[in-house]
Each structure stands twice: as structure tokens, then as C-alpha cells.
Amino acid sequence: MITLVDERLETYAVAHSREVPALMDELRDHTYAHVDLPQMQVGSLEGNFLKVLARICGAKRIVEVGTFTGYSGLMLASALPEDGKLYTCEISPENAATARTYFDKSPHGSKIEIKLGPAAESLAQLEGPFDMAFIDADKVGYITYFDLILPKMRPGGLIVADNVLWSGRVLQDAAEQDESTKAICAFNEHVRAQVDLDKVMLTIRDGMTLIVAN
């Protein structure tokens, strides 16, 4: 596994970014204490990055695929105006319940609607246009989620896909790749093939790709 950014540099970057509310630290600590695979949660640096992106977009309607315990959702919702809306898709009732608990503690929680069930089904039912989308769920579903979301984006809307470097495993030989790694590589190539779309892959945490809808 490749360390993409020196931990000391990431700590420095966090220290020079906006401090997150105490509720976010509480949610982080709860996730690491009580939830399986807590490393799936975005950290404060990525959370702040998503919030800034949402503000740059002037987002009023956001769709998120992969609620987990709600950290990214709360950070995104904090960038929305009072009449803004975040739809977040989650398949795990346990994770959704944890997220709802913390949403209810936040002044931004009323902007968030959890769509419980398979994300592809939820996305098919949601109506656009959306100003921003964040994809951070099962890697095998990334292409499906992207293809469902893209037609529902407003022109100039922003799609953000997380984990696109997959701890460096995207550099493995194909014969060594597991199912999730193959899926991420396929997604990356799928996005790359969209030659009419502006996009950039960044090395923030585990890699993020930003795609601008036409």
C-alpha cells in the first residue's frame, strides 16, 4: 500500500484549514469506537474540501452516494443555504441510524434526507437537476452511480468521486487486483473516456476526481 501524502504534511494541512465543529469530532470518535471499517469516514481535511467545493458551486441541491455515519453529509449540508437540500443514499440501516442521530444534533440536519436502500434504486427515483454530487460508496457500483447521476446534473454542476487512487492499488498488475481495485480502475477509465467533460484527478487523501457536467 502506498502512502500518498506524508502524515506530517497532512497534519500541517489540517492545522491550517478551518477548524471543524465539535460535533464532527464527536462523530469521528463515535465512528472509530463503534463502527466497522471506520477508516471509510472522510476526515476533517476532506470534509472541509467538500464544503468549500459546495460553496464554490453555489450548491442548493446535492446528492451523495454513501452516507456511512454522516460526516461528509454534514460537512456538505453546512455549505447549503437554509432552503438547500442534500439527498444521501445509504444501504446500511445501522449506519443510517447513526447518521440520523448526528444529523438531528446539527443545525444543518434538517437539510438532509436519507434515502435508505440500494443506491442505484434511490438515484433512479431522484429528480434533478443537482448542483453537486459526491460518490463514496461500494466501488463496484461507481460506474452505475456516475451514469445515473450525470444526466441529472445541471450544466456546470460538479461530480466528486472519492477513493480513485485506492491506496495506490490502481498501480497493481491486473492479475493482482481484487474486485474493488478492478472496479476503481474501470471507473477511472470510464471517466477518462468522457472526452467532452472537464475533469481532474487529485491526490487528496485516497484520491478524488472532480468532473464538471456539461
Rounded to 5 degrees, φ, ψ at 43 are -90, -175
Q: What pLDDT is recorded for position 38?
A: 87
Alpha carbons within 13 A on the beta-carbon side of 107: 7
DSSP codes joined into one string, 88-122: EEES-HHHHHHHHHHHHHSTTGGGEEEEES-HHHH
Rounded to 5°, the CA angle 9-64-15 comes to 20
Please give the class, per CATH, of domain 7-212. Answer: alpha beta
Other beta carbons within 10 angstroms of residue 205's beta carbon come to 18
Residue-by-residue pLDDT tens, the chain, 214 positions: 555 678 898 899 999 999 999 999 999 999 999 998 888 888 899 999 999 999 999 999 999 999 999 999 999 999 999 999 999 999 999 999 999 999 999 999 999 999 999 999 999 999 999 999 999 999 999 999 999 999 999 999 999 999 999 988 999 998 899 999 999 999 999 999 999 999 999 988 889 999 999 9
* pTM of this structure: 0.94
